[in-house]
Amino acid sequence: MNKTDKKTLEEIIRVDHAGERGAIKIYEGQLLALKTFKQDEDLKKKIEEMKEHEKEHFEFFEKEINRRDIKPTRLLPLWDIMGVALGFGTAMLGKKAAMLCTASVEEVIDDHYKNQTYKLKEDEKDLKKKIEKFRQDELDHKDIAYEEGATKKGLYKILDNVIKTSSRIAIAISEKY
Ligand SMILES: [Fe+2]
Ligand SMILES: [Fe+2]
Q: Is 144 among the domain residues? A: yes
Res 1 pLDDT > 80: no
Q: Is 114 among the domain residues? A: yes
**CATH number, residue 27:** 1.20.910
Contact 10, 70 (CB under 8 A): yes
Q: What is the band of 89 on the pLDDT scale with cuts at 50, 70, 90?
A: very high
Ligand lying closest to the C-alpha of residue 143: 2
Exposure on the CB side of residue 74, measured as CA atoms within 13 A:
2
Q: What is the band of 67 on the pLDDT scale with cuts at 50, 70, 90?
A: very high
Q: Is 87 among the domain residues? A: yes
**154/32 Cα distance (integer angstroms):** 27
**Distance, first Cα to last Cα, the chain:** 30
Contact 16, 74 (CB under 8 A): no
Total domain count, the chain: 1
Q: What is the band of 2 on the pLDDT scale with cuts at 50, 70, 90?
A: confident
Q: How far is the CA of 69 from the centre of ligand 2 (A)?
A: 25
Which pTM value belongs to this model?
0.94
Of 49, 153, 33, residue with least CA distance to 98 = 33
Boundaries of domain holding 77: 6-176
Q: Is 1 among the domain residues? A: no
Contact 60, 23 (CB under 8 A): no
Q: How far is the CA of 2 from the centre of ligand 2 (A)?
A: 30
